[in-house]
A = this chain, B = another copy of it.
Amino acid sequence: MSEPSAAGGRRQDGTRPRGRRADGSAVEDILAAARAEFAERGYGGTSVRGVARRAHVDPGLVRYYFGGGKPELFAMALARREIDPAGVVATLVADGLDGLGARLLDVVVGTWDAPGGRERFRMVIAATASGQDHLVRDFLASEVFGRVRAALPAPDADLRVGLVASHLVGVLVTRYVLELEPVASAPREELVALVGPTLQRYLTGELPGA
């Protein structure tokens, strides 16, 4: 038979075959397509149908797997279950304040440097900037930077962690969103060597005007 099997290609009469795929790849294809669409078009410019088109499935299938629609699709496209950021940061902090700046930057850049990380970061920033998603921001504030802040001595812990967050986020935005050279393609170790001491100064050093 020259007809395509399972979902996807069209028959002579224009219809597409139904039935499940043997390799069960539909969900992964949808999620990958969603990541690409959200990264390229932003939250508002991404449609369920656009994602379906890109994944070569019917929009009804997207609805079947992600009944919550675009919000659920966004959340699932972002989710990564292999990494527990809060747990990682807790471990970094538990190793003490010395060198924490460099370790933080190392882990953060390493995380977003991973495959798909750039897309995810752009998704988050774009959605947050256009007020459509606050979940990741709030998670970062409470579970990530909140743990760093808890390890710092008063009275200026909030200010210190705010400065660290500012610089960290700036490196990420410059690297993944603005793609300004040489920051965009600098080796991670180089960034850590250059920026780590600054973060450490913000964490434990003397603040000007304090």
Binding site for B on A (CB under 8 A): 38-46, 122-123, 125-132, 137, 140-141, 145, 158-159, 162-163, 165-171, 173-175, 177-183, 186, 190, 193-198, 201, 207-209
Contact = CB atoms under 8 A, between A and B. Distances in A.
Contact of A40 (B131, B145, B166): B131
A71 to B, nearest CB: 13
Contact of A129 (B42, B190, B208): B42
Contact of A158 (B42, B158, B181, B194): B181
A209 B182 contact: no
Contact of A46 (B40, B44, B180): B44
A177 B44 contact: no
Interface centre among A40, A162, A196 (most CB of B within 10 A): A162
A179 B126 CA distance: 14
User: Taking each of A46, A129, A175, A197, which has the highest tally of chain B beta carbons within 10 Å of its own beta carbon?
Assistant: A129
Q: Which 8 A-B pairs have the closest CB atoms?
A: A44-B45, A170-B170, A42-B130, A126-B129, A193-B209, A44-B44, A166-B174, A162-B183
Contacts of A178: 128, 137, 140-141, 165, 169
Given A125-B125, A190-B209, A165 B158 contact: no
A189 B127 CA distance: 30
Contact of A171 (B40, B128, B170): B170
Given A126-B129, A129-B125, A180 B165 contact: yes
A67 to B, nearest CB: 22
14 contacts: A38-B130, A39-B130, A41-B132, A43-B130, A125-B126, A128-B177, A140-B178, A158-B182, A163-B183, A165-B183, A166-B195, A169-B170, A193-B208, A194-B207
